[in-house]
């Protein structure tokens, strides 16, 4: 006689969220299957909006496809790792060899592997808020505790090192720095990054530098590689082909361990063990790394005045400026705008409710601000990947809906108090 046992999910999933591909995205898929044309701004996926991977990268994969049929070294093929080393050296990072470079199935896999190699139950990791939610999820999945440090809208979404320092406890193991930032587009000034590096060094913390958008900056904003500032503790820099080279589907990312390598021996051994357990990452895509990093950097054309990304961002800035309901800290990098709403003009605004109604009625999909682990519900994220005409349409539809919201009375309990996620 069989037993009807409910197959419940693991308790490790209870504090894991990834709403960017959650219920709203599933509802958008349902509507699309019914024939509605959905403008999906919830994910930074360049291929969906007509961007192509550079031809030279595609040719590199084709020419080496025959060499991609077997397993390779768990850290990745040597030409790819050596190309990453050369990029790091050109940026002023010293002491790194191919032995300190790991190629993974995108940065996402490397985030999970790195945290798994580092954390014990109850260890704390300082994660920015707003954050790219995979960081919070991966900390929780690997038995740690994500402690969010505020990157406040009124401060341009740039962290305050003193606020960050106040969150450090004996259980703190690492600081996550996402720069240029997703979801806000903030590009951190050198003095702030230097203060964060010194803080990590004083407390012996690992610095995880998520730099997947490293070359996507606008209007002269200066990206400063974190590894050039971290010397007396371990720094793990993560980047890849997905965004700068418009190759999300290749699933190729890398992690570079630098800084005080004398303290990193066990971590490196643990990371290599985990890399070995998954045998190796996608081989074909790795052949594009050397060509990508050593070739013509077409991203600079896209982010310069007149370029596709620059002009789409300009439309976002102009659309926000033309409607007093919107609030926006100008994004200086990455592929997103984290748009706020003036609560005095729209007292009934709730980001999740707005996102659902915008999808159902206007067929536009955005990511609610609370998806990014913030303590307020008056923001949402969009991507600047669509062309200018599409973005103008989007803001017109959002404006129509927000005009209706402005006439609705505020409901009790709709406002989430800012800062409630942060330690006092």
Is pLDDT above 60 for 169?
A: yes
Q: What is the mean pLDDT of residues 139-148?
A: 95
d(CA 89, CA 98): 12
Q: Which domains does the chain have, with CATH numbers?
A: 15-44+305-406 (3.90.1150.10), 55-294 (3.40.640.10)
Whether residue 53 contacts residue 250, with contact meaning beta carbons closer than 8 Å, is answered with yes
d(CA 196, CA 248): 30
Whether residue 267 contacts residue 117, with contact meaning beta carbons closer than 8 Å, is answered with yes
pLDDT bucket at 416, cuts 50 / 70 / 90: very low
Residue whose C-alpha is closest to residue 242's, from 264, 214, 275 = 214
Is pLDDT above 60 for 84?
A: yes
Q: What is the mean pLDDT of residues 102-113?
A: 97
pLDDT of 23 = 86
pLDDT in tens, 242-266: 999 999 999 999 999 999 999 999 9
pLDDT of 105 = 96
Q: What is the mean pLDDT of residues 374-392?
A: 95
Residue 365: both structure tokens together: 């999909």
DSSP string, 86-130: HHHHHTT--S--GGGEEEESHHHHHHHHHHHHH--TT-EEEEEES
Average pLDDT over the chain, rounded to an integer: 92
Is pLDDT above 60 for 423?
A: no
pLDDT of 138 = 96
């Amino acid at each position: 006689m069989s037993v009807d046992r409910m197959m419940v999910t693991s308790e490790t999933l209870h504090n894991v969220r990834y709403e960017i591909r959650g219920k709203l995205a599933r509802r958008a898929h349902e509507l699309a299957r019914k024939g509605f044309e959905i403008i999906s701004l919830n994910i930074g996926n360049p291929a969906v909006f007509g961007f192509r991977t550079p031809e030279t990268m595609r040719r590199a994969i084709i020419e080496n496809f025959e060499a991609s049929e077997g397993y390779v070294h768990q850290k990745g093929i040597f030409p790819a790792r050596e190309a990453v080393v050369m990029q790091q050296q050109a940026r002023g990072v010293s002491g790194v060899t191919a032995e300190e470079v790991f190629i993974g199935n995108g940065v996402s896999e490397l985030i999970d592997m790195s945290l798994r190699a580092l954390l014990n139950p109850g260890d704390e990791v300082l994660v920015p808020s707003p954050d790219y939610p995979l960081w919070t999820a991966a900390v929780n999945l690997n038995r740690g505790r994500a402690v969010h440090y505020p990157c406040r809208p009124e401060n341009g979404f740039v962290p305050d090192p003193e606020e960050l320092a106040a969150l450090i406890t004996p259980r703190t193991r690492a600081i996550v720095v996402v720069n240029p930032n997703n979801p806000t587009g903030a590009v951190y000034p050198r003095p702030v990054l230097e203060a964060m590096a010194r803080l990590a060094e004083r407390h012996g913390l690992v610095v995880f530098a998520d730099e997947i958008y490293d070359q996507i900056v606008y209007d002269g904003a200066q990206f400063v590689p974190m590894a050039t500032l971290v010397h007396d503790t371990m720094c793990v820099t993560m980047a890849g082909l997905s965004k700068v080279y418009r190759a999300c589907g290749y699933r190729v990312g890398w992690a570079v361990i630098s800084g005080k390598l004398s303290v990193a021996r066990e971590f490196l051994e643990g990371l290599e063990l985990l890399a070995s357990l998954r045998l190796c990452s996608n081989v074909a895509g790795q052949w594009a790394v050397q060509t990508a990093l050593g070739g013509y950097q077409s991203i600079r054309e896209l982010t310069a005045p007149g370029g596709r990304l620059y002009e789409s961002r300009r439309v976002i800035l102009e659309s926000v400026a033309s409607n007093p309901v919107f609030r926006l800290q100008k994004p200086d990098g990455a592929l997103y705008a984290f748009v706020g709403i003036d609560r005095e003009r729209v007292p009934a605004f709730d980001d999740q409710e707005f996102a659902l109604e915008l999808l159902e009625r206007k067929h536009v999909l955005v990511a609610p601000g609370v998806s990014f682990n913030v303590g307020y519900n008056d923001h949402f994220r969009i991507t600047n990947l669509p062309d200018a005409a599409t973005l103008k349409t989007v803001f017109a539809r959002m404006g129509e809906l927000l005009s209706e919201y402005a006439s609705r009375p505020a409901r009790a309990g709709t406002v989430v108090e800012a800062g409630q996620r942060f330690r006092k």
